[in-house]
Structure 1
Amino acid sequence: MRAVVTAIMFAIIVGCASARPATQGIEEPPRMVEAVLGQIPVGTSIDEAQRFMEREGFKCSRSVNEAFRDRKGLDYIHCDRSDGSRLVQRRWQIAIVHRDGKVVEALATAGLVGP
């Protein structure tokens, strides 16, 4: 019995240590939106959505009645993260749009940034 418990604990520890962020390794904005909404679906509280995005390594701030790309008048959390090497990075900008404190959609842009 002790060996079974030890094996289970080891599996849990190894699984947690090797877990990577749900949004890591994605290269296209539509796939990022899909990954984000898979973790924070429409109807999720905006506070919970922000906590998730920050755990994923994004820096987030709130925007009220602002534009994101070609959309105007949105209330959203603006989340920003750069992935990659020191030489070239993919910069993500995600808008978690909300209404009445609940997520209604996610929008994403990405671009390569380098010297």
Structure 2
Amino acid sequence: MNAFAHAGSPHTRIARGQDAMAVALRLIGWFATTGLATLGVATLFFVLLGSFTLSGTMLQLDNLTARFLAADAARQAQFQTIVFTVLGGAFVLIAFFRRASLRSAFELAGGDND
């Protein structure tokens, strides 16, 4: 048997598929965790503005909502750009500090290396 026949065996294809699915699940988990941490930073910002009280946080969110809805379309677009830029920067910063776990998502433990 040559190397091409062995590489295309059903066992090898199944193992590679399982490895790809495991890496995909780890990447999805990494992105979900990083995204949720980013949203947590935004939530913490509003809790901080509300003096660490639920009523103060809700008042700040109500104030922001009222001002956002009263603004014209150009100001709303400018605000959305600012928010997405800040959240994108926070995502990149959190991802930078989580780079070791991203690297470990590609490592496959166990299995045969035939």
TM-score, with structure 1 as normaliser = 0.27
Higher relative contact order (CA 8 A, sep 6+): 2
Higher strand share: 1
Higher helix share: 2
TM-score, with structure 2 as normaliser = 0.27
